Structure 1
């Protein structure tokens, strides 16, 4: 069992790694840990100066260029620096090793603000005249010059940035934003705007700030008078770095390292930077400068860039600038290309963990690191497919013949769709969910490698089985009639894929749930009932897992088809969330975030077993809250295998043309629209269930009592999650989560958001979902005794 402590450590480590990846390229008006800085003049001195730490020199010196001088000037040539930051009429720099902080005014007169051989500095930020730096080890913040309001003295920070009269940082303990400074009104407004949003980095401008939340989306708050908050954001981790000026925002897109800007009333033309790719950008008041990827030169652009000698988009006369600080520490994800030359043997420039060769293959957008999995390589899969085609080419004719027979038998050839709606009434909708694309991309490899390495030892060989199963008891119809009081309505407890479910008590005293197939005399209904009965009996007779409903036995007499299950005392999750008798009961056991996350984890483990450890794998095809049952010990189990299908064991990415089946609101839009089934269809259904657990709303609901068109839960919840407004949609019966719970609830929300991505290839696997929910539950737990679910069922072969 994953302990709360280990889960919290993993979560913190992920966030820490994420911050370390993004931090070197975080360049707002008050830049932090950068090698490029902008110094802007005030009312008396309207001179702009650009400074940078030069590359390929034994001493990492600072060079500066300004409008009133023809060539660059070196600053304090005897000292090496790791990072610099610029502001009003001056700039600051951290000496190599972090032992001191120096400040230069517009005349390049230097003053030492700080020196210590025990408390070292790692990054500096400057906005207007205030200067703040982050310490190494303790990760506290110290501020100098015109800072009447200081941050909490003992608080630990992940990231800091400064704007015009205020600074902001991110608490390491909670990933929450706090702001301080002389401009308290703006500081308070920005801090309030990020209330209850967990982020991993912060970028501050004039009167606005942007942050990257834990799902990789950019969220901006503050003044939007010039459109500076409207930085386009289409998918997670779209940006490699941001730069915020007084009234504009610019970002480097990770896909091609080009720059896009918003604000400035449309005066930041993209034509100026067309053809450039950038390693880093930093903003002045009303212009932005960037470090180019081709030769590490500096170009600037924007309405406030007034140089006649070097107009917008022209390289400034500065030496080659370092793309990041030269450090002597071990680089977790490798060193930057040309690092030895760039640092001239004095350390290395650490490359971001998601860095790829931009010249040969621009990196695709990535999912939040919380998804620890490796999607199968399309090219690798294609190579395998071609090889398999050569090997089995001799049987191609037979396979083609079988495909034709299967096509005719299932009705796929005729485009038939079966939408099963055993709980909710059938509602025809325009499938608005399918019109929204919530992007993601590749993810981390560690979890899949870890799980794949032990898969052979973990997989339970369910083997082949006769349709009746070796372990299923056979009952007489008369026995089940007696057990249910002749199928009395008072014993009716639900409905399944092919019939009504009744509570029963066998002659030996065992409480069971009995599903009776529909008794309709129509041939079509009988065939559907027969197929569902045979499917569920075949699956359940050989599947044995803690999070799957267990089969007790069956009855097959004349036209009667009945299945007998273990009785789930606490009913279906759907009833706890939506039944009228429970909606107003705020004291329900399910009305706690820990319990809801635990139920989600239990269900995910059951589905993961079907996908990864059953042989051959099984796709459920009807994952929904009414098919997640809860036993007497409040353990959730997946039920109803009437629509389930076997899947090829050899190819996890296998897809098959298949007539659509499922339940409105839960069915995968890609499956419904294209008739192509994959394992990711179950992922979509579980994603909707996760949203149900978060919001308490049905998968399909009306927004008012006026008979309005129904809204899907996906289109209701996902935009709020993307906007960082999760608290607005959380189930009020549970209430707002506490501080530790909030991190777990947010992790569930981001997981759900990716599960319901329109395209199946961008959804996580069940292995990834289980890992995320394990961490979410661990983060919520306050002690080892807190309620939690058991680890996946493991049996060695």
Structure 2
């Protein structure tokens, strides 16, 4: 504890350690609530790094960058902050709307002094110096001092004020509204305090619960109870809650039921609770998952969040002294990086708590026990249902066998959806999107990912799988050669768009008016090339038939007639990214701004991420380049040309290929040199594309007439690494403004990481996507879409 062990305070210390940890609107914890957007964030348990995951009602959980290990978080009105493990830096994120994309992390503090008890208010941030326990402030409205020397404990923040308990156990407050709160607690010896929007509750040295401040909705009407009966306090805008001991259930007051105390969730034990606005969330003792509830004057509604297991307490170094013992299994929960001290006063019985209810039960509600006859009826009903299901399953099996025997010879390429392959640890924790849970740091190379060995699938019919985030198409259309010849005026040169991995691409117009792109295999092939082109056709047909995503080229159908092999796609009105960047006759058009260029890169990265992370088996494109990134009529980018793509089952080891394939300038050096193919090979190619977009240079170009060929990697990467990005930016685009420059730098540094010589040093595509999302958010904020209420934060290095 932070109170010195003098004679005057020794007895007080003994009572203080009996109080459980408390969390609230602006106090350090492992969970935090952002008032304005209803965002709930927590630190992952049993994970390394112990990164932060956030969720909102009705949305999948999502990670925030950087994915470092954090020891605590604290939430305010429009943003929240996380203190990095060790306390030598902390980051903050704006969360002012309901989208799942936060503005990028801003490092507010990095220094040699370790911090603890990070506390966030409306627009102020404060923390203790871990060594001296003096208070330090950042931001605020000018009414907060920079530092307050002395020794304090239980730091907390509300709207326009922050409070702490001095070494005399008396509450001291700062900020424009702090004097009123301090006066209300005058001469009351406190062991701990927690702030809400405009009121403060705490436990006295004697162990009794009291509240002071605004009482507009009865939030000060704390229930009476014995000494140390309440702990785990959480305060919102108009309500207050506390965990009742020894059963660990929650009791709330204010803002509902006329201000009288009420139980928002009956029969559930909680380890800790936090609040913000009208939202309160608790960490369930049984499984460390999060349950939230929202109250207004008349109703209580339970909110389901997709957060996995969250740390039940702050991890501290193993050599720390835990006054009331160590939390069970805390070393595993902290992933071997520390322990969790057991809150003093928490129940210690080993009885299994009842399962959490599916919805909030009204106070004092009871249900009559079922009668024996009703139990018998339920058994007969269950038997009837099971029998019916079994009969239906058997009938379906018979019909499937009939279909397989008599109709499988028909040549049909079914559309196939990928099944999401979930990380084992994530699956054990909660059904959350794996990309939202296990994401390597964007600033270091991920390791330990499983690899696969490839086998070609050809044109065989694939199993139909209907899971994944993309749309579903019933089946590919089969066209006659005459139909496609008519659509292109017999493949006239005036309809020619370009060439792909196995043929020429033409623009066509079908009989029903649809505009399409038609890829036709070359007819004058040498004998030794025929097999290779057939393989490319079958490969692309197999992939396009089973993959559907808004950032992959739309597949319409195919023609396999005699010697003709044709594929039909949706027509991409704005052509290839390559042409907009490098064609002498082309004008930049919409690509004349950094914002739209970053948006195009983000679109394409999402398509590649889908191939790597959601396709089953995973897919490596092998030919990522700017000419294979097409733009539709709305300037949405889509990845195209799957003639060289490979897929295979998941095994330990690398993806291996007998022969390197791709386009020079974009090919992974590790792949064409060592024939080791992994998803990081696509990452390298996309890194080259990112450098193309930034510089306006081709993948391989000549500097001036007669110059030696130079790769865009060798041209741009050294200048970017040296901090001289301006020297290599495309001069056809106006120099970026201050906020745009931050976004462009993030893209540039990400690109440099992508083109590392060794695949192990490159980020995963999921990391690239998140960095580009962050960069685009910065651009949007620079154009005036950021919240005026969000705090001004220094840039992340």
TM-score, structure 2 normalization: 0.45
